[in-house]
Amino acid sequence: MPGKIEQIAQRIRELRSIAGLSAPVVAKGIGLDEISYQSYESGSIDIPIGVLYEVAGYFGVELTDILTGESPRLHKYLVVRKGKGIEVERVASYHYHSLAFNFIHKKAEPFLVEAGASPEGAPPTLNSHPGQEFDYVLEGRLLVVIDNHELVLEEGDSLFFDSGARHGMKALGGASARFLAIIL
């Protein structure tokens, strides 16, 4: 996992270098403070998927380019068979599977996310990113915190929100939860 974060950070540094931009310029361009951006770019801390999405948009590349180092090629349709999406393992408690990784010029980024079982009482890690997000719970129970508001989602529940608000999720009940997350 740390190796993947470092590889992603390296790709971001390379994009910035190719564009001839400084870290403060890119940080401002994607709406981050310079210290956070430099921490992400150094690979020393996990990079939220929303931030990766913003970086991709800023540099005019696909998110897949940053995640895998390869460019998507398909433009008519893409079928992703069960268990075959590109796994984006960023933190131990979450497993992301990109469901449109090889489709070029996407308007949204769909992911199948598995949130591992969390200790009761442990708060979810919060993050924010520009845009909007849609989440649909497929299995389990999910605690969602948005700007200090706590919501519990059950199987079949969905949520659409401004992802610029500080938000985080965690599985409840000592079991994992699976949900579809679409970042717009």
Q: What span, in angstroms and rounded, lies between the C-alpha atoms of 48 and 164?
A: 12
Question: Domain count of the chain?
Answer: 2
| Cβ neighbours around 108 below 10 Å, total | 13
Residues of the chain with pLDDT under 50: 1
User: Which residue segment(s) compose the domain that 116 sits in?
Assistant: 108-183
102 domain-assigned: no
Please report, for the domain that includes residue 53, its CATH number. Answer: 1.10.260.40
* Residue pLDDT, tens place only, 109-162: 999 999 988 877 788 888 887 789 999 999 999 999 999 999 999 999 999 999
- The first and second tokens of residue 70, run together, are 């390869």
Residue 86, domain member (yes or no):
no
- Tell me how far apart the alpha carbons of residues 152 and 88 are, in angstroms, rounded to a whole number: 25
What pTM, to 2 d.p., does this model score? Answer: 0.80
Q: Which two tokens stand for residue 115?
A: 């949130």
